[in-house]
Structure 1
Amino acid sequence: MKLSIKFIVYIACIHIAAIGLSFYIFKDEPLFFIGSEVLILLSFFIAWQLYQSLIQPLNLLMTGVEAIKDRDFNVKFLKTGKYEMDRLIEIYNQMIDQLRTERTRQEEQHFFLEKLIHTSPTGILMMDFDENITALNPKTQAMLGIDAASVLHRPLASIQHPVFQMLSHLKTGESRTINFNGLETYKCQKAHFMDRGFPRYFIMLEELTTEILAAEKNAYGKVIRMMAHEVNNSVGAVNSILDTTISLEQNQPDVTEALEVARDRNENLNQFMRRFADVVRLPVPYKEPLNINSLVMKTTSLMSSLAKRQNIRFEFKLSEREVVAQADLLQMEQVLINVIKNAIESIENDGTVTFETIQNPPQLLITDTGKGIPKEVEEHLFSPFFSTKRNGQGVGLTLIREILVNHGFGLSLLTEQEGKTVFRVRF
């Protein structure tokens, strides 16, 4: 029962009892009976006034409580001229002002934090109490090439993406550098904050690929330039001596043949060094609108004779609409030639190389049915001059990487399943 009802019942009972008692005492004395009734009515009136004075602040409080419950911090009350009521109104209005100020500050901080996360150059991935993904900013989506809708409200370990699989093993407070596909390198850090008494986790992803590639290229570039300089100088001088000696030894065929072999070996050495130097001396790409579908058809026509000799078929799944990228024609031709050559070497004999272009987002996929890439080799694929071939120099993939990175294109090379290795270029 409400307090107000209890008070009314109590007052009513007292005054009804008083009326009954006055009637019993003064029933034979009308004047006294009438006087007592007047006093009882006056008492009831005073009690009612007290009730109004007491219940009004309570009603006011309940109105304020309902406003706070509805998160409406704009409800304020005017003073009534009664001391107790005005003190209550003053305290309530001060509290509402403070709550409104705090809410405004929190909303401003919240919007600022959302804007900061959204525009951050660092990838940020947020999780709830159960470590299910609740949000990821555009930078994370761009870095990992994923759509937010496909991963939201799912635990990290359930997402079939190599980076997410690695992130699922991160511990709170741990920082780790991970390498994906032998090319893309990320610095990852996991932390948490308290929300309603429970920890909420977040992971920050910082892309180190560009910095690492620049430092790497700077290091091996100096070595290659020094080696090329020394080899070219030595080869030129030695060849000059050999040519002179050959012209003087025309009457000694055995000596002449040996000298010519030495000169040819020098030329091979010179060519060997030139291939390394080509990686360092790549010119800035001359970008112009390039139809990727036409580029694929032109390059495959060039490589078709090599494929036919090994009974390898070319298949095409090209977009009906043109896929256009701003790129250097000659350099992109070189990329495709190297990729197709690698695919043919991986298949060896009897297989298929499939070329697929995608309009949105613009991509080129080259899939071969070769033996695939061993797991232990994946992380070294794009390392400078790494090769699994007996006489390989490791220049092909390094050159591909340099050209595509200089263009600002994304790339990956993965064996997605047995008999399906995909080279992907994201324009």
Structure 2
Amino acid sequence: MRYLFIVITIELLLAALSVVVLYKTPPLYFVYVSISVAVMILAALLYHRLGIPIKKITTGMELLAAQDFSSQLRPTGQKDTDKIIGVFNSMMKQLRNQVLMNQEQNFFLKQLIDASPMGVITLDFNEQIDMFNSAAVKMLKTDKNTILKTKQLSDIDSELTKYLSELDFCDSKIIRMSNTDRYKCSCLFFMDRGFKRKFYLIESLTEEIRKAEREAYGKVIRTIAHEVNNSMAATKAVLDITETVIADDPDIVETLECCKNRINSMTNFITQYANVVKTPPMHCIPQNINALINNNISFYEAMCIGTNVKIKSQLSTTPITANIDSAMFEQVLVNIIKNAIESCNGIGEVQILTIDKQLIIADNGKGIQPKEAQNLFNPFYSTKPNGQGIGLMFAADTLRRHGFEFSLATNPVDGITRFTISLEPLTHPQI
């Protein structure tokens, strides 16, 4: 437009001078008019040769600045200018295709990350949460809105974020949660505009480890149970025959009875281990948890006989209903409460609480040490001198089969140990 304005201005000046010449020197008027026309034609040609290409280049620069790669410049009819326009349009087409390809790849990558079973959390340059996928939301046991409102990873109220915040660049660690879940957490980085950006990968190892553990100890138990029971059965048969032969000697008969009782105890002991790997199928129906606890409270109190441990219950005023196998769930409660009583070392208090679809069994006993917490639900691990490590293993397996989330931990603030069971299934029950 600037060049067109200059041309028009020149033409107007020449026209004005023509009028002046007409009045001052009429003989030179036609000569001057001819020169003016020639100058105007020359100016128009100059604008067509220079002004239009410059205008096209300016328009192209504006398109690039606005990142409008979908527009193209139209040819002007000038050979040299059209070559420049052709190169520009070809460049714009390549840029448009590249942008489209990047958008498609980014969309695919986001879909792939969101569908990944591994949790992914990326941070920006200020180490604030930039992106996360559905698996990460599930593992953090929170919701998307909470994460979107949160800037720092450490601000999310989750047990897992505490461990993630402690990881350094290129660090990887297997973490065990209080509910026996295990995750392999890695802190990695990628380059963005020449700078490092941190991201976390969270891989769930829980099911693989549980399956491997169950297969391993199941095979061992079945082998031992088979061999021991066969040996015990043969030994007991020999003792029965011997007892009939020497029935007139009471001392030997008494000794044989002790041996037979010990064999029965050993058989029962090994059978308990064998039963762990072949738990019966569950038959779940809706049950009132408060009523189930009230019906068994006398039995729980009887477990405290001979100690100064008190059982107290604080149940919600409204019924709490859960879909459970009552027989197996009752056994779970017996195991948990028994452990809580034993943790009190003869004096203390065990509380049974129900609130907001949660069942909590708390005790003020010796608590759980950090080293013990890492192994609590491991097969056959026990902190008790004569413990077999079956109770918690059975409880954890049964609760998982119900689809219930659970945790066992000692609060460092008040020193209370709580076994918390969420009675709202978060996973499909494994009937």
| 8 Å CA contact 1:323, 1:358 repeated in 2 | no
Secondary structure, aligned partner of 1:55:
helix
The alignment-based identity, stated in percent, is 35
| 8 Å CA contact 1:323, 1:357 repeated in 2 | no
What is the RMSD of the two structures over their aligned residues, measured on CA atoms?
3.6
Q: In the aligned structure 2, how far is the partner of 1:291 from the partner of 1:89?
A: 79
Does 1:180 find its partner at 2:172? no
Could you report, residue by residue, the CA deviation over 1:347-367 in whole angstroms, capped at 9, with x for unpaired residues? 3433241323434xxx54333
TM-score (norm 2): 0.82
Aligned to 1:376: 371
Shift of 1:393: 0.9
Secondary structure, aligned partner of 1:274:
helix
Equivalent residue for 2:127, pick from 115, 124, 131: 131
Secondary structure, aligned partner of 2:191:
strand
In the superposition, relative to structure 1, how do residues 63 and 294 fare at CA in structure 2: closer, same or farther (>3 Å)? farther
Q: In the aligned structure 2, how far is the partner of 1:296 from the partner of 1:59?
A: 86
Q: In the aligned structure 2, how far is the partner of 1:17 from the partner of 1:64?
A: 34
Aligned to 2:227: 230
Aligned to 1:208: 205
Q: In the aligned structure 2, how far is the partner of 1:251 from the partner of 1:201?
A: 84
Aligned to 2:163: 166
Q: Which amino acid counterpart does residue 190 of structure 2 have in structure 1?
A: F
Equivalent residue for 2:101, pick from 90, 102, 105: 105
Secondary structure, aligned partner of 1:86:
helix
| 8 Å CA contact 2:348, 2:364 repeated in 1 | no
Aligned to 2:417: 421
Could you report, residue by residue, the CA deviation over 1:62-104 in whole angstroms, capped at 9, with x for unpaired residues? 4344444444333334334333443344333333322322222
| 8 Å CA contact 2:69, 2:96 repeated in 1 | yes
Shift of 1:397: 0.9
Does 1:329 find its partner at 2:326? yes
| 8 Å CA contact 2:315, 2:355 repeated in 1 | yes
Does 1:340 find its partner at 2:337? yes
TM-score (norm 1): 0.83
Could you report, residue by residue, the CA deviation over 1:15-39 in whole angstroms, capped at 9, with x for unpaired residues? 979999xx99x99854236623652
Does 1:81 find its partner at 2:74? no
Aligned to 1:56: 52
Q: In the aligned structure 2, how far is the partner of 1:230 from the partner of 1:353?
A: 43
Shift of 1:394: 0.9
| 8 Å CA contact 1:176, 1:188 repeated in 2 | yes
Does 1:241 find its partner at 2:234? no
Q: Which amino acid counterpart does residue 360 of structure 2 have in structure 1?
A: L
Secondary structure, aligned partner of 2:411:
strand
In the superposition, relative to structure 1, how do residues 228 and 404 fare at CA in structure 2: closer, same or farther (>3 Å)? same
Aligned to 1:412: 407
Q: In the aligned structure 2, how far is the partner of 1:160 from the partner of 1:189?
A: 20
Secondary structure, aligned partner of 1:350:
strand
> Greater CA deviation, 338-347 or 232-241?
232-241
Could you report, residue by residue, the CA deviation over 1:161-191 in whole angstroms, capped at 9, with x for unpaired residues? 4433333343444443333338222223333
> Greater CA deviation, 111-120 or 412-421?
412-421
Does 1:401 find its partner at 2:401? no
In the superposition, relative to structure 1, how do residues 68 and 9 fare at CA in structure 2: closer, same or farther (>3 Å)? closer
Equivalent residue for 1:221, pick from 218, 223, 226: 218
Does 1:350 find its partner at 2:348? yes
Q: In the aligned structure 2, how far is the partner of 1:322 from the partner of 1:75?
A: 65
Q: Which amino acid counterpart does residue 356 of structure 2 have in structure 1?
A: I
Secondary structure, aligned partner of 1:365:
strand
Aligned to 1:94: 90
| 8 Å CA contact 2:404, 2:421 repeated in 1 | yes
Q: In the aligned structure 2, how far is the partner of 1:220 from the partner of 1:414?
A: 25
In the superposition, relative to structure 1, how do residues 28 and 220 fare at CA in structure 2: closer, same or farther (>3 Å)? closer
| 8 Å CA contact 2:289, 2:319 repeated in 1 | no
Could you report, residue by residue, the CA deviation over 1:316-372 in whole angstroms, capped at 9, with x for unpaired residues? 3548464433x433222221221122122223433241323434xxx5433333332
Could you report, residue by residue, the CA deviation over 1:257-303 in whole angstroms, capped at 9, with x for unpaired residues? 33322222222222221221121221233344455454444444542
Q: Which amino acid counterpart does residue 52 of structure 2 have in structure 1?
A: Q
Q: How many residues are matched?
A: 419
Q: In the aligned structure 1, how far is the partner of 2:177 from the partner of 2:46?
A: 79
Q: Which amino acid counterpart does residue 190 of structure 1 have in structure 2?
A: C
| 8 Å CA contact 1:385, 1:394 repeated in 2 | yes
**Structure 2 unaligned residues grouped into runs of 5+:** 426-431
Aligned to 1:313: 311
Aligned to 2:428: none
| 8 Å CA contact 1:367, 1:423 repeated in 2 | yes
Secondary structure, aligned partner of 2:303:
helix
In the superposition, relative to structure 1, how do residues 370 and 61 fare at CA in structure 2: closer, same or farther (>3 Å)? farther
Q: In the aligned structure 2, how far is the partner of 1:293 from the partner of 1:123?
A: 37
Does 1:392 find its partner at 2:393? no
Q: In the aligned structure 2, how far is the partner of 1:321 from the partner of 1:55?
A: 86
In the superposition, relative to structure 1, how do residues 10 and 104 fare at CA in structure 2: closer, same or farther (>3 Å)? closer
| 8 Å CA contact 1:296, 1:355 repeated in 2 | no
In the superposition, relative to structure 1, how do residues 253 and 354 fare at CA in structure 2: closer, same or farther (>3 Å)? same
Q: In the aligned structure 1, how far is the partner of 2:191 from the partner of 2:49?
A: 46
Aligned to 1:282: 279
In the superposition, relative to structure 1, how do residues 292 and 120 fare at CA in structure 2: closer, same or farther (>3 Å)? farther
Q: In the aligned structure 1, how far is the partner of 2:185 from the partner of 2:108?
A: 23
